[in-house]
Chains A and B, each alone.
Chain A
Amino acid sequence: DAGVIQSPRHEVTEMGQEVTLRCKPISGHDYLFWYRQTMMRGLELLIYFNNNVPIDDSGMPEDRFSAKMPNASFSTLKIQPSEPRDSAVYFCASSRTVNTEAFFGQGTRLTVV
């Protein structure tokens, strides 16, 4: 398996634009997580899915953020409209079950100017 795949690796966009980040989890993993990493706050969980169903989105900072998982092999994190303070590295991770290793993608570095 190629691991967790995220795209794009880098995204630069203007304030107010819509941004969509994509993730393909490892096949067979039932859990998918979206994290955000900043220098100030470190790694924060935004939302996670179990069998494509959102379980906990309490980490989503604002209504501007939304995440979907239409099937077991694809998830998106959308920011609309984007703001400069959304600039961060966004990681997607997946795991087989609740208590097994979480595998992370390479991340998407988002810069909103």
Chain B
Amino acid sequence: KQEVTQIPAALSVPEGENLVLNCSFTDSAIYNLQWFRQDPGKGLTSLLLIQSSQREQTSGRLNASLDKSSGRSTLYIAASQPGDSATYLCAKLNNAGNMLTFGGGTRLMVKP
């Protein structure tokens, strides 16, 4: 059973476009939800963390929203740049303990 799903698996957009990455999860009893960025051959960098009591978080051109009732989170990237090209992963922290469950990621390519 896939607990956290990210669609699409890959996305290619022209520079300057606004885009939305989707994350859905089956268990709405979450503690928080975190978005990460992973560059090829590198580790994960935390982008945004949304507590279960929050609806959204913003950092620069990034905005993440959380809708627990529908089991969805979105990562909005405004005015995309080639440097945004990476794999973006969402992960939910379950209510019962300290377990982060990751989605499969969305591989984003922003073309100049």
Binding site for B on A (CB under 8 A): 4, 31, 33, 42-45, 48, 50, 55-56, 91, 93, 95, 98-107, 109
Contacts and interface: CB of A to CB of B under 8 A. Distances in A.
B44 interface: yes
A105 B104 contact: no
A28 to B, nearest CB: 16
B43 A104 contact: yes
B10 interface: no
A107 B46 contact: no
A43 B105 CA distance: 10
Interface of A (DSSP majority class): strand
Contacts of A99: 31-32, 51, 93
B34 interface: yes
8 contacts: A43-B89, A43-B102, A45-B100, A55-B98, A56-B98, A99-B51, A102-B100, A106-B43
B45 interface: yes
> Which 6 residue pairs spanning A and B have beta carbons closest together?
A43-B102, A104-B44, A106-B43, A104-B43, A101-B46, A98-B98
B45 A31 contact: no
Contacts of B89: 43
